[in-house]
Amino acid sequence: MHSHTSPHRWALRVAAPMLAAIAGLLTLFMSPAGAHGSVVDPASRSYGCYERWGSDHMNPAMEQEDPMCWQAFQANPNTMWNWMSLYRDNLAGKFQQNIPDGQLCSAGHAQGGLANSLDVPGRWTTTNVGSNFSLRLHDQASHGADYFLVYVTKQGYDPTSQSLKWSDLEQVTKTGRYAPATDYTFSASAPGRTGHHIVYTIWQASHLDQTYFICSDVNFG
């Protein structure tokens, strides 16, 4: 006696492994890159987009409600998915020599231009802060830190219309070393500011000469 598989069941048997493989690839593509990190509060530009739209990226409302994230997603979806991957290797502390004006938020068009759209001036969504504020950096791989440098744009700079230059920034904090952990919190003070500004964080990781360059948009109330 022979058993017969219906065409419908046969199609399901063939399709199920294919669908599983596609789902796995989509999960890999849509997951934030591992083994690195970024500032999550006040949210970096890329993390803020991922936090707000990562699970809702097909929503057409993004274009009107969050146009800077929308343009970033149109330019390269991985700017959002790989929000922890924006770094440069072997700079030996020579940041200004290697990161040109106008390319600070993309770390000098790092990672093959992964996040060039982060350099575009515009009405990026801001986090409200006071003159004295804290930053929290998530370090998924626990690299540790030789130090963090924190800069804030000077009063009068307009992030909605001006590309970011080194001369627009004032260094407000340099920390000491941090032992490897998954989260680090450190403080900064930037008096005399009102309105929309950029907080620019440089994270010098400890495991290698690997440096992260991170733009966060804030509103000083």
Please state the domain extents for the chain. Answer: 39-220
Asked if 145 and 158 count as a contact pair (C-beta separation under 8 A), the reply is: no
With a CB cutoff of 8 Å and minimum separation 6, the contacts of 191 are 131
User: One digit per residue, pLDDT tens: the chain, 221 residues?
Assistant: 444 444 444 443 434 444 333 333 333 344 444 458 999 999 999 999 999 999 899 999 999 999 999 999 999 999 998 998 889 999 999 999 999 999 999 999 999 999 999 999 999 999 999 999 999 999 988 999 999 999 999 999 999 999 999 999 999 999 999 999 999 999 999 999 999 999 999 999 998 889 999 999 999 98
Residue whose entry in the numeric block shows the structure tokens 């998924």: 140
pLDDT value for 13: 46
- CATH tag, 39-220: 2.70.50.50
Rounded Cα–Cα distance for residues 199 and 182 (Å): 21
**The predicted structure's pLDDT at residue 36:** 87
Q: Which pLDDT score is estimated for 149?
A: 98
Which of 90, 149, 80, 160 has its CA nearest to residue 115? 80
| DSSP output for 145-213 | EEEEEEEEEPTT--TTTS---GGGEEEEEE---B-S-SEEEEEEE-TT--EEEEEEEEEEESSSSEEEE
What is the per-residue burial (b if ≥16 Cβ within 10 Å, else e) of 186-205? Answer: bebebeebeebbbbbbbbbb
Which one-letter DSSP state was computed for residue 37?
E
pLDDT number for residue 207: 86
Task: State residue 28's pLDDT score.
Answer: 36
Residue 64, pLDDT score: 95
What whole-number distance in Å separates Cα of residue 185 and Cα of residue 163? 28
CB 59 within 8 A of CB 8: no
What is the per-residue pLDDT for 35? 53
Full-model pTM: 0.84
